[in-house]
Structure 1
Amino acid sequence: MRSKTSAVVLAGAIAAGSVMLSAPVASAAAYCSSSGYTASGLPTERCTSLSNGIVYHKKDYNNPTRMYTTYSKTGGSSVSVRLGYSMSGSTTYSGYFTISSGQTVQKSWSKNGAYMCYNSTGVLNYSGGTFQTPTAHC
């Protein structure tokens, strides 16, 4: 009975558009130093603390290069935002989504080639403006 209930809850969450993250991503985004580093201290993972959450940006060491931007909302009312990354003078965004306090949403992109050491920033955009992380690099 328990697994059937879990499957129904999971199906409902997926249908409602909820995003589930693995523990390492969520925990990495949970800490952001005043200089914009996560708990790992790696220059490929940077973050920005906001009054109502944390924006976190990370790159993976693979080819293609994977980039992730995460928003963990810790307070305030629901907002419509989009996440993205900036690299080499252009910005790539996800579509808009609504996020509420207590939720974490991650978006990811693949870029063919070895872009790991290119400077990039994570971006959170909403109707009132844009926030970005410090530059992630090698």
Structure 2
Amino acid sequence: MRTKTSATLTAAALAAGSVMFSAPAASAAAHCSSSGYTATNEPMERCTELSNGYLYNKQSSNDKVFTTYSKTGGSSVRVRLGYTYRGSTHYSSYFSISSGDTVKKEFKPSGFNYCQSVTGVLNYSGGTFQTPSTHC
């Protein structure tokens, strides 16, 4: 019964568009260069190092955009993730995140095609952070 409950909760989280990840997603973003590239050094994956974490943005060949926040320190905060495309910014709903957690949001921007310029954003009560633009 417990396994069935876990599977149901996982499916619900996936359907809602937010999933908590542990070290694998965080380690990908943790290799953020000063020029905003991940360890892959691909322009389709860009990142920004923040004082208490990493903001990571990736576009996929199936016309989706993924924005990830890995929180590495500090107290719990309430944030939302999103993307900017063609001058418009779109956000997820707000959520709380604690140090050591990673949250990844998936978006399917209207009219978006792979290789177009898109920027990942993190918004909180004090302002907004963004990644460099992904492209091909």
Q: TM-score, normalised by structure 1?
A: 0.82
Q: In structure 1, what is the Cα distance between the partners aligned to 2:26 and 2:53?
A: 12
- Structure 2 partner of 1:96: 94
- Give the gaps of 5 or more residues in structure 1: none
Other structure's SS at 2:20 match: coil
Q: Which residue of 1 aligns with 2:128?
A: 130
Alpha carbons 2:45, 2:134 under 8 Å: kept: yes
Residue deviations 1:84-122 (CA, integer Å, cap 9, x gap) = 000100011000000000000000111355521211100
Amino acid at match of 2:88: S
Residues 25-62 of structure 1, C-alpha deviations (whole Å, 9 max, x = no match): 44322211111000100000000000100000000012
Structure 2 gaps, min length 5: none
Total equivalences in the alignment: 130
Amino acid across the alignment from 2:91: Y
Q: Which AA in structure 2 matches 1:104?
A: T
Q: Give the distance between the partners of 2:71 and 2:49, measured in 1 at CA.
A: 10
For the residues of structure 2 that align with 1:103 and 1:90, how far apart are their CA atoms? 28
Tell me the residue number matched to 2:32.
Answer: 32
Aligned partner of 1:52 in structure 2 is: 52
Question: What is the alpha-carbon root mean square deviation over aligned residues?
Answer: 2.6
Partners of 1:111 and 1:8 lie apart in 2 by 33
